[in-house]
A and B are shown apart, each in its own frame.
Chain A
Amino acid sequence: MVPLYMAFLIGGLLCLLGQLIMDLTRASITPGHILVGYISGGAVLSGLGLYEPLVKIGGAGATIPLSGFGHLLTQGTLKAVEQKGLLGAFSGGVEAAAAGITAAVVFGYLAAVLFNPKG
Chain B
Amino acid sequence: MNTPDPKRWKKIEVEEYENLVQQTKPKPPLLKHCIWAFIVGGLICLLAQLIMNYLLNQGIGKVDASSYTSVIMIFLGAFLTGIGIYDELGKKAGAGSIVPITGFANAIVASAMEFKREGYIFGVGARIFTVAGPTLLFGFVVAVLIGLIKVFLSS
- A interface residue numbers (CB < 8 A to B): 1-2, 4-5, 7-24, 31-32, 34-36, 38-40, 43-44, 46-47, 58-61, 63-70, 73-74, 76-78, 80-81, 85-86, 88-90, 92-94, 97, 99-101, 103-105, 107-118
- Given A36-B138, A112-B109, A115-B113, answer yes or no on A63-B132 (Cβ-Cβ < 8 Å): no
The 24 sampled A-B contact pairs (Cβ below 8 Å) are A11-B45, A11-B46, A12-B37, A14-B41, A19-B33, A19-B37, A20-B30, A34-B98, A35-B131, A40-B139, A61-B49, A69-B101, A73-B139, A74-B146, A76-B143, A77-B147, A78-B147, A90-B147, A92-B143, A93-B143, A99-B70, A108-B132, A114-B82, A115-B83
Chain B residues with CB under 8 Å of A65's CB are 41, 45, 99-101
Chain A residues with CB under 8 Å of B96's CB are 12, 15-16, 18-19
Indicate which residue in B40, B103, B105, B142 contacts A108 across the interface (CB closer than 8 Å): B105
Say yes or no: is B134 at the interface (Cβ < 8 Å to chain A): yes
Q: Evaluate contact between B139 and A15: CB separation under 8 angstroms.
A: no
Chain B residues with CB under 8 Å of A116's CB are 113, 116
Chain A residues with CB under 8 Å of B100's CB are 11, 15, 64-66
The 6 closest A-B pairs by CB, nearest first: A15-B41, A11-B45, A12-B42, A89-B147, A18-B95, A108-B108
B27 to chain A, nearest CB (A): 10
Chain B residues with CB under 8 Å of A92's CB are 143, 147
Where chain B touches its partner, the secondary structure class is helix
Chain A residues with CB under 8 Å of B68's CB are 99
Mask for B38-82, Cβ within 8 A of A = 1, else 0?
Answer: 111111111011111100100000000011111101110011011
Shortest Cβ distance from A97 into B: residue: B139
- Looking at B1-9, B10-18, B120-128, the stretch in contact with chain A turns out to be B120-128
Q: Evaluate contact between A89 and B70: CB separation under 8 angstroms.
A: no
Where chain A touches its partner, the secondary structure class is helix
Chain B residues with CB under 8 Å of A22's CB are 94-95
Q: In this complex, which of A35, A65, A86, A115 has the most chain B Cβ atoms within 10 angstroms of its Cβ? A: A35
Q: Evaluate contact between A113 and B116: CB separation under 8 angstroms.
A: yes
Q: Evaluate contact between B124 and A112: CB separation under 8 angstroms.
A: yes
A69 to B136 CA separation, bound complex (whole angstroms): 10
Shortest Cβ distance from A15 into B: residue: B41
Indicate which residue in A11, A88, A97, A110 contacts B41 across the interface (CB closer than 8 Å): A11
Q: Evaluate contact between B105 and A15: CB separation under 8 angstroms.
A: no
Say yes or no: is B25 at the interface (Cβ < 8 Å to chain A): no
Chain B residues with CB under 8 Å of A23's CB are 28, 30, 33-34
